[in-house]
Chains A and B, each alone.
Chain A
Amino acid sequence: MRILSIAINTFRENLREKLLYNLLFFALLMIGSSILLSRITLGDYHRLILDLGLASINLFGVLIAIFVGIGLVSKEVDRKTIYTIVSKPIPRYEFLLGKYCGLVITLFANTVVMVVGLLIVLQVMDVPITSLVFKSLALIFLELMVITAVAVLFSTFTSATLSAIFTLAVYVIGHLSGDLKEFARKLDDVSQMAVNAIYYTLPNLDRFNLKGHVIHHLDFGMADMALTLAYGLTYAAFLLLLASVIFQRRDFQ
């Protein structure tokens, strides 16, 4: 219950962020621009619209997750409002979880707006809307949840700017970690084990990328979907637990 009230409060607070609306505006602009671009391309215009739409939702979702997520805790510390909360009989992890849930609700609202925009464009341009589109959107949202957890984690121990940089770095690394495995294959046994260990610890964000499946009509089975969902949720839970542990030990001055 306490978590929920913190979450709702965070959501309300986030709605006051001007950055959010800017990013949302640009996302919708990009989704809409696919109509224009599809007119000057040759061939498969369905592909371009779906591609641009999904990529915009993904990219702007990540930007919102990062730039709103990093301020979650550090802003409270800066404004000293954190004292009013930590002095209350609320466990710190509940505070953190509430903050996280609030941001996830914000992201969900944003994603819904962008998805509605995309669906309108798809409908107008007569692009068939398959179940794969929704699977892909679900996994994009899962990716946003993981990124948010990363942002919250960094936000518990560094400044907003640094956490933004770190979270962006994790996002980039997360999409390149697949290559680590490739490198590992060319190494000797010991280094291979070390590199593989790093690979498995880092998030593999490419697992949440179904954009190619949607465009090339490749099936993504329910078993794969369930496993990917489980992977994303457990990874986010792990990050949040780590964040709570750090936050618990933190001394506010």
Chain B
Amino acid sequence: MSGQGLQSPDRLVYYQKFVSRNLTTRYDHPVMSFKVISARRRYLLSFLALVLLLGASLSTQYLLEQRSHGRATKLEQLRLLPKGEILRPALLGYHQLGADLLWLRVVQVLGDRVVRDKDYEWLYHALDVITTVDPKYVYAYEAGGVVLAELAGRVDLSNRLLEKGLAPNTSSWQIPFRLGFNHFFHLGDHSRAAEYMAQAARIPGLFPIGPPHYTARLASRLYVQGKNPEVALEFLEAMLDQTTDELLREKLQRRIRRISLERDLQMLEQQIRQYADSRGRRPASLMELVLAGLLPGIPSEPYGGDYLYDSKTGKVMSSTHDERMGVYVPADSLATRGDIE
């Protein structure tokens, strides 16, 4: 090729420079004419298009996010989980990992500030799936049981979950322990609570593989004097010992304070009765009990109030709480006889 043609290097360079300076040019040829878009302009256009498309996809994504509020989708995913029986074979031997990832999802939902009541149904469903996929995931039963009973107030679901975990985890004390707690604390069924506690106590091993040392004593005391506030306190303090979650600890501590109040009231009234039995009259004030040597001192009221004594009826009241806790009032003589050990 000679240097005269259109393809000649000099001309081509000149042509390209011309085009890039003017961005577009018309190229007229004897047969046809066409518009040439310069390389610079092409880059500019594609860059603009890229920015535009990215912006559009980001904003639509944002809009979608706004519509679903994020949390709803998280819950939606829990609700739409397939049944554990179906999910399990699909995991091809990665059951535990599947359970872990689902648990991670559940934890994220729990971390949200507002969880509505009906959301706990989905939570139960998710926990059910997790424990079907990995029936030996003791922590999921345990923590799930706590959340369902204490945060959701769904003791029925909590018990259902925990009872499901009993059979595949015969060497776990946590599940029967938690069941015992539910039966005692929420259902007031002391004999069932005692049975579960005894079941937990039978698991061999040292804590934390085996149950805490006081489990057997708790079980025996529950059998005999389930309604005694002392037993309740012992139980609750044992639970407090094992709970690290702040929210639950606070709940338990609140309960402990309330029951300590009831214990003090019962103790004071018992001393008053004893005083009346021996002297033939009721004491005029609580101080008289101390002076008579029946009490080392008047216990301090757990809420910072005072104990008010009505010398006519022999009843003691708290200045902060005017209601008594029904469950813990001793109903049988055994409860007042003290510890059976």
Interface residues of A (CB under 8 A from B): 37, 40-44, 47-48, 51-52, 55, 58-59, 171-172, 175-176, 179, 205-206, 209, 211-212, 215-216
- The answer to whether the Cβ of B139 comes within 8 Å of any Cβ in the partner chain is yes
Which of the 9-residue segments B14-22, B88-96, B260-268 touches chain A?
A: B88-96
- Of A47, A171, A205, chain B has the most CB atoms within 10 Å of the CB of A47
Taking a contact as CB atoms under 8 Å apart, the answer to whether B96 and A212 are in contact is: yes
A64 → B minimal CB distance (Å): 17
Chain B, 39-84, CB within 8 A of any chain A CB: none
A176 and chain B: residue at smallest CB distance: B89
Closest beta carbon of chain A to B65's beta carbon, Å: 20
Question: Which A residue sits closest to B104, measured CB to CB?
Answer: A41
Interface centre among B89, B93, B107 (most CB of A within 10 A): B93
In angstroms, Cα B89 to Cα A215, docked, is: 19
**Contact (Cβ within 8 A) A211 B143:** no
- The 8 A CB mask of B106-142 against A (1 = contact, 0 = none) is 0110100000000000000000000000101001000
Name B107's contact: one of A41, A172, A176 (CB within 8 Å).
Answer: A41
* Cβ-defined contact, A40 with B136, below 8 A: no
Bound CA–CA A44/B94 (angstroms): 18
Does B100 reach chain A (CB closer than 8 Å)?
yes
State whether B136 touches A43 (Cβ < 8 A). Answer: no
The residues of B that contact A205 with a CB separation of less than 8 Å are: 93
21 contacts between A and B (CB under 8 A): A37-B104, A40-B104, A40-B108, A42-B107, A42-B110, A42-B143, A44-B139, A47-B96, A51-B97, A52-B97, A52-B100, A55-B97, A58-B93, A59-B94, A171-B92, A176-B92, A206-B93, A209-B93, A211-B94, A211-B96, A211-B97
Residues of B within 8 A of A55 (CB): 94, 96-97
Within the assembled complex, what's the spacing in Å between the Cα atoms of A41 and B136?
18
Cβ contact of A212, chosen from B89, B95, B143, cutoff 8 A: B95
Nearest A residue to B106, CB-CB: A42
Q: Within the complex, which residue of A41, A43, A51 is in contact with B96, where a contact is CB–CB below 8 Å? A: A51
Question: In the bound complex, how far is the Cα of B89 from the Cα of A175, in angstroms?
Answer: 8
Assuming the contacts A51-B97, A179-B89, asked whether A40 and B107 have C-beta atoms less than 8 A apart, the reply is yes
User: Measured between alpha carbons, how far is A136 from B65 in the docked complex, in Å?
Assistant: 42
CB neighbours (8 Å) of A37 from chain B are: 104
CB-based contact B136/A212 at 8 Å = yes
In the bound complex, do residue B92 and residue A175 qualify as a contact, i.e. CB atoms below 8 Å apart? yes
Mark contacts of B243-267 with chain A using CB atoms, 8 A cut-off: 1 yes-contact digit, 0 otherwise.
0000000000000000000000000
Residues of B within 8 A of A209 (CB): 93
A43 near B143 with CB under 8 A, answer yes
A59 to B93, CA, bound (A): 10
Contact mask for chain B residues 263-283; partner A; CB cutoff 8 A; 1 contact, 0 none: 000000000000000000000
CA distance A47 to B94 in the complex (A): 13
Residue of A nearest to B147 (CB): A42
CB distance from B204 to the nearest CB of A (A): 15
Residues of A within 8 A of B89 (CB): 176, 179
Tell me the smallest distance from the CB of A137 to a CB of chain B, in Å: 15
B112, chain A: closest CB distance, angstroms: 13
Say if the beta carbon of B328 comes within 8 Å of chain A.
Answer: no
Q: How far is the CA of A211 from the CA of B96 in the complex (A)?
A: 8
Q: Which residues of B contact A179 (CB under 8 A)?
A: 89
Q: Shortest distance in angstroms between B136's beta carbon and chain A's nearest beta carbon? A: 5
- Tell whether B235 is near chain A: CB-to-CB under 8 Å: no
A44 and B95 CA atoms in complex are apart in Å by 16
**Chain A residues positioned under 8 Å from B309 (CB to CB):** none
List, in ascending order, chain A residues with CB within 8 A of B134's CB. Answer: 212
Q: How far is the CB of A109 from the nearest CB of chain B, in Å?
A: 24
Question: Is B181's CB within 8 Å of the partner chain A?
Answer: no
Task: Tell me, yes or no, whether B177 is within 8 Å of chain A by CB.
Answer: no
* Other A-B pairs beyond A55-B94, A175-B93, 16, CB < 8 Å: A37-B104, A40-B107, A41-B100, A42-B103, A43-B139, A48-B104, A51-B100, A52-B100, A172-B92, A176-B92, A179-B89, A211-B97, A212-B96, A212-B134, A212-B136, A215-B96
Q: How long is the Cα–Cα vector from A203 to B246 in the complex, in angstroms?
A: 49
A190 to B110, CA, bound (A): 52
CB neighbours of B139 from chain A (8 A): 43-44, 47
